[in-house]
Chains A and B, each alone.
Chain A
Amino acid sequence: MARLKLKEHLINRDWCKGCGICVHFCPKKVLEIDSQEKVVAVRPEDCICCKLCELRCPDLAIEVVTEQPDQDDAGKDSITTNEDATKTSEASTTVSKESINTAGR
């Protein structure tokens, strides 16, 4: 699978309850809870589009909008999103293996 490119984090502030699940499990610490107890993407440039925040949000309040990667990048990096072990290919420059290992057993 080609690596997805982030367009934006679509956050529905009316629905977000600030539970912090997405923040806690984001492998790249992209998200934070703001003073109004809503989530914000503070480091979008670090996002690897694993979409675990979107999948684990109990309130359907966050969506990771992606676009197809440029032809050049296509196939270079690959991300297998897996909650047992979120892996990226060795080639990935932005993500180190350990940092995104949200591994459970």
Chain B
Amino acid sequence: MTTKTHVQTTINGEPVDFLCEPRQSLLECLRDVVGLTGTKEGCNDGNCGACTVKLDGRIVTSCLVLGVEAQGADIETIEGVAEGTNLHPLQLAFLENAALQCGICTPGFIVSAKSLLDQNPNPTEHEIRFWLANNLCRCTGYDKIVRAVQDAAKKMQEAS
């Protein structure tokens, strides 16, 4: 039986080391060990996307990644989306379009949507819905979320 493993990562651009047991998920490590509680736990089995983070350039459900797997990894979480006190256009668009109610799904949606817009600045509604199919929301009925992503895409293109 091993004891805790020393995991060295980069989280939101900063070097972060943590200790974890092999059975702990990356989600648990982020929330309970590192103290980054913006990433949420919904289902803990890969279905809801509340725990979405970017791991070495790909979005994943952090509940289905072991913390020990993150050795040497580059991780981006919801805490890294705003620049200081300036909200990201997606965050503003979610607020302005009322794309959240309880908000538990929102960090996951924003991290997912950001990775979509990073690679496809002008997605169609179909592409947005398809990309976000792995993120579930029990409150909004999705329409406002799709509108918010479209709105953010438009504003980001106007700004660039």
A-B complex is real: no
Chain B positions near chain A (C-beta within 8 angstroms): none
Chain A positions near chain B (C-beta within 8 angstroms): none
